[in-house]
Amino acid sequence: MNILLVIAFTLAVYGVFKINNIKLLEMAEDIIQSTIRDSKSIQALIVSTSLTEKRKGVFSNVQQIFDETRLILSVTNRSGLFPTLCLASVGLLFVGLAIGGITNNPFLALVLSGGLSLIPFWFVKLSENNYQNELNDELETALSIITTSYIRNNNISKAIEENLHHINPPVQGIFETFLVETKYISSSIPDALLRLSTRINNTIFEEWCLELIACQDNRNLKHTLPDIVGKFGNVRMVNGTLGVDIYEPLRELLITSGILLCFPVMIYMLNADWFYVLTNVWIGKFTMACQVLVVFIGINAGIRITKPITYERQ
């Protein structure tokens, strides 16, 4: 009976949207645009999504997940995918409510609706790791060829301009901005380099820019630039050595969570009366909801700490 009610409700909602010619994707885009805050700077679009500000509360954590997802999609040129992710999240939310309704467990419905709705954003968060590795590779290539040219001609603007066509997005965009600033806005190279260092949240890149600023007063310091660029290779080597080990905690967490979710089946096989209490008595229903909640909290924490090795300056 509960399944029929869920199907009837779903068809009724679909019919209302169909009759009124309401397009879900367009509606989602309008809602998202109305909730987006002030336009992001170039630094915010390039910056890593590991936000350092500590936020408290469930709603703040959810808002942080949305902000991180939007930034990841922005820097990977997939901003148009965000409304689709939101629709998928809403769809999974209703799936969680439906499962809770079918099992006549309101606690489980609440937990499942919240946990399942985060799955699309978790996938995007995991894709950030690949993006960070690709960004480091592109930065290593760009800084290497620019450094070689700068050591030869002692002119950073000329070094960037003659190698700009070898650089790929998103790194290409920040160097194009640097050239525009030095040509048409201000001729102060140190100030332009200081602004350049803030456009990518990368410690090695920032150190390279600051060393370039020092080179404007002492040209002999330019020979230290290749050593700084070489740190990208060290980071790549460490990540290559660790490889799958980076994802080992998350994999073990998923295996443990799977075992935990099989707990009701094991209870049923051991004692049918216990299974009846677990699925029909309020205390049992609450216990199942807490069990699923622990799984979602663990997976969310595991995804947040799963990230590639980065260089940290002491």
pLDDT in tens, 76-104: 667 778 888 888 888 888 888 888 888 88
One-letter amino acid of 266: M
Confidence class for position 314, pLDDT limits 50, 70, 90? low
The answer for 54, left when phi > 0, alpha when psi is -120 to 50, beta otherwise, is beta
Q: Is residue 4 over pLDDT 70? A: no
How high does pLDDT run on average in the chain?
A: 78
Angle, CA of 73, 78 and 81, to the nearest 5°: 90
Flag whether pLDDT at 210 surpasses 90: yes
- For residue 38, count other CB atoms closer than 10 A to its CB: 6
Q: How many CB atoms lie within 10 A of CB 39?
A: 7
Give me the pLDDT at residue 146, please: 94
Q: Is the pLDDT of residue 267 over 80?
A: yes
- The pTM of this model reads 0.64
pLDDT band at 24 (very low <50, low <70, confident <90, very high): low
Residue 40 gets which letter from DSSP?
P
Q: Give the helix ranges, DSSP H, for 20-118.
A: 24-35, 42-46, 58-75, 82-102, 106-116
CB 202 within 8 A of CB 139: yes
The mean pLDDT of 179-187, rounded to a whole number, is 87
Lowest mean pLDDT among 142-146, 243-247, 271-275, 306-310: 243-247
Which tens digit of pLDDT belongs to each residue from 228-257?
999 888 888 877 776 666 777 788 888 888
Tokens 């915010």 locate to 44
Torsion angles phi and psi, residue 39, rounded to 5: -60, 140
Distances 7 to 16, 25, 26, 97, 116 between C-alpha atoms, Å:
14, 22, 25, 12, 19
Tokens representing residue 112 in the block: 């499942």
Per-residue DSSP letter, 242: H
CA distance 74 to 68: 10
Q: What percent of the chain is helix, strand and coil (3-state, nearest 5)?
A: 80, 0, 20
Q: Residue 248 is encoded by which pair of tokens?
A: 């080992």
Let me know: does 247 contact 306? Beta carbons within 8 Å: yes
Confidence of residue 158 (pLDDT cuts 50, 70, 90): very high
Distance CA 118, CA 113 (A): 9
Query: Which is more confidently placed, 39 or 94?
Result: 94
**Inter-CA distances, 148 with 139, 160, 212, 217, Å:** 14, 10, 13, 19
35-39, 67-71, 306-310: range with lowest mean pLDDT? 35-39
pLDDT of residue 11: 60
